[in-house]
Amino acid sequence: MSYWINVYRANLKMAIAQMLAYRFAILIWAVWGFVGPLISLAVWTAVSASNKSGIAGGSGQSFSRADFAAYYLVFMIFGHLTMSWDAFEFAYRIQDGRLSPKLLKPLHPIHSDIAFNIAFKLCTSAMVMPAWILLFVLLHPTLPTSWIGLILAIPALFLAGALRYILQYALATIAFWTTRVEAINQLFFTVDSFLSGRIAPLSLLPGVMGSVALYSPFRGMGAFPVELALGRIPTAEILPGFALQIVWLSVALVLFRTLWASGIRQYSAVGA
């Protein structure tokens, strides 16, 4: 245990130092996270303007303008805290052979990447926190009514982050075979946009898509912790929601280990 604490402490220290050297650059990347949710919020605000009684989906959940504001603000913050970019980064590493030195270390490369991811979130969250607070003040969202939801959202958020991270990393290993991953990443991002609740709250998705969304891993990486924090999940559905996250996380871990084990044998360094 103390071995892992040391490993992560050293890696985090290094990652934070690197982050701070590129303050402006990482801030710009963090601001990308604002664009999507705020555009969605603007669109749904316009939709609610023509529908004063609130927008109601099939499952009877209804959204007013202030509800949308709350949903997308929390989605924006949680999205930032659960984001991962390794699916892109990893392919570049394979393309230019930068992966090779990492494989020589007596430590799986995923650990330094996780440390890097955590460092990015620590540094950028501190930087964009004032903007988050300002947006809460400006947009007058519906505030959550119960503390229980907010507290339960914390473990849900951690599970969401872990699930997204492992799943994206598993996806990244496909680069061992294909080298190029743009199409696969775009496929992931497209499906993710619908099923994680980024384009619309899941209860507003029409038809089959709405029912698929309830059980897909994307809900566990997106909408579930958000709705939990806002107290939108009925008590009876909280436990199944966590179960969904844990089941998909286990699937992702198995998938990652299998793909990595066979991919690493496939790997022949580029540029060697």
Partner 1 sequence: MRHLKLLSVFYRSSIQTDMEYRADFFTRIIASLLGLLMNVGAFSIAFHYAGKIGGWTFPQAMVLLSIYYLMDGLIEMFIAPNMRAVMEHVRQGTLDYILLKPISAQFMSSFRTVNIWRLVNVLVGVGLSFYTITQRGLVIGATEAFMFAVTLACGAVIVYSFWLCLVTLTFWFVKLDNIEQIVWQAFEAGRYPIDVYPIWLKNTLTYVIPVVFIITVPAQALAGKLSMSYLLVSMFVALSTLVGASAFWRFGLKHYTGASA
Angle at 161 between CA 159 and CA 163, to 5 degrees: 65
- Sign of dihedral through CA atoms 109, 167, 39, 132? negative
Query: Applying CB under 8 A, which residues contact partner 1?
Result: 24-25, 28-29, 31-32, 35, 39-40, 42-47, 50-51, 55, 180, 182-183, 185-187, 189-190, 193-194, 199-200, 204-206
What are the φ/ψ torsions at residue 242 (nearest 5 degrees)?
-65, -40
Nearer to partner 1, 156 or 198 (CB): 198
The minimum distance between CB 26 and partner 1, in angstroms, equals 10
Distance CA 174, CA 109 (A): 16
Say which amino acid occupies 226: V
Measure the CA–CA gap between 187 and 174, rounded to whole angstroms: 13
Contact by Cβ (8 Å): 156, 224: yes
Nearer to partner 1, 37 or 149 (CB): 37
- Please identify, using beta-carbon distances, which residue of 85 and 194 lies nearer to partner 1: 194
Q: Which is nearer to partner 1, 139 or 238 (CB)?
A: 139
Residue 186: CB minimum distance to partner 1, A: 4
User: Smallest distance, Å, CB 266 to partner 1?
Assistant: 18
In angstroms, give the least distance from the CB of 268 to partner 1: 18
